[in-house]
Amino acid sequence: MSDPVFFVPAGRLALAEVARIAGGEVARGDATVAIGRVAPLDQAGPGDLSFLDNPHYVDAFRATRASAVICSAAHVGDAPEGAAVVVAAQPYRAMALVLQALFPDAFRLKGPFGAAGISPAATIHPEARLEADVTVEPGAVIGAGAEIGSGTVVSANAVIGRGVRIGRDGYVGAGVTLQYALVGNRVIIHPGARIGQDGFGFAMGPGGHLKVPQIGRVVIQDDVEIGANVAIDRGSNRDTVIGEGTKIDNGVQIGHNVEVGRHCVLVAQVGISGSTQLEDFVAIGGHTGLAGHIRIGMGAQISGGAMVKDSIPAGARYVGNPAKPIREWTREQMALKRAAQQATGRDQT
């Protein structure tokens, strides 16, 4: 259930307004009923709004005590008696839109200190340029020549290196280090992320490993979200690029010269080796490793825990270690299962 201490609703929404925001319609109940709280199905009570997106939870949906629910047309008949129903084609997306309206502070992030404006406890180089309405919290450091657009929040103890440029309406979380980087508009960088440090580049040999200077940048396009403790290395001799709208989960490592396309999704603990390219709309499950100098085609999906050593064509679905097309992997697993069953049968005779 939402916490009234940390996230207080901005107001109450009539069910008709909920339907408008959700892009749906009120299929049952009083459209003038006001909603100001949200809760999961099993915890919802009178006055709460909840939703059903995954049919796996239909039993909890039938039993919920929520005053109003959002669901698809196919599940209106499963809604409990007495609950008002908003029908939306995509209930999860609809609920996200309603949450944005009810809890803008959870959508438009603020720094942990909570005060707007430039803190006197921040250290800002006189050659840095900040537009109006930038917030810089205590302990933050902004280097020479850095540029930060209006509406952006730089949280406590973040470090913005010299020459870094950050667009408008962005968020830099507490303890972030950001250097040798160009960052677009509306980019969210969660606490502890490390962006723009040296790539892992060495000329290896029997006499020792010679460090190769890393002279590229990190370029982060508009509407990217970067999770906590993500590491993105700057390019060695070209840029590391994160494409527009891409979402990166906590604990991801992106090596030098990597190019991530637009609207990709990288789940926690993905590791991408240097000079690998991801085309647009690639989705990679958690704890997956990608070798360097390969290409992942547009819209490809890679299952969690896969180890990818070769390029993957557009639209393909890969799984396993080493990663292979899911149909091939499934056939192999079935063959292994049959072989094991046959061996077990022989052992018992």
Separation of alpha carbons 172 and 185, rounded Å = 12
CATH class of 13-107: alpha beta
End-to-end CA distance of the chain: 57
Q: Is the pTM of this model over 0.95?
A: no
Cis amide linkage into residue 322, ω under 30° from 0:
yes
What are the boundaries of each domain within the chain?
A: 13-107
Tokens (6 digits) for 36:
């100001």
Tell me how far apart the alpha carbons of residues 185 and 304 are, in angstroms, rounded to a whole number: 30
What DSSP line would sit under 175-236, residue for residue?
T-EE-SEEE-TT-EE-TT-EESPPP--EE--TT--EEPP----EEE-TT-EE-TT-EEPPPS
- Structural contact between residues 140 and 153, judged by C-beta atoms closer than 8 angstroms: no
- In whole angstroms, what is the distance from residue 84 CA to residue 66 CA? 9
How far is residue 179's CA from residue 121's CA, in Å, rounded to a whole number? Answer: 21
Helix (H) or strand (E) holding 343: helix 326-348
Per-residue pLDDT of the chain (349 residues; tens, 9 = 90+): 455 678 888 899 999 999 999 999 999 999 998 998 999 999 999 999 999 999 999 999 999 999 999 999 999 999 999 999 999 999 999 999 999 999 998 888 889 998 999 999 999 999 999 999 999 999 999 999 999 999 999 999 999 999 999 999 999 999 999 999 999 999 999 999 999 999 999 999 999 999 999 999 999 999 999 999 999 999 999 999 999 999 999 999 999 999 999 999 999 999 999 999 999 999 999 999 999 999 999 999 999 999 999 999 999 999 999 999 999 999 999 999 999 888 877 666 5
Largest CA distance in the chain: 85
Pairwise CA distance, residues 70 & 95, whole Å: 7
Q: Which residues are catalytic?
A: 256
Residue 291's identity, in one-letter code, is A
DSSP state of 19: H
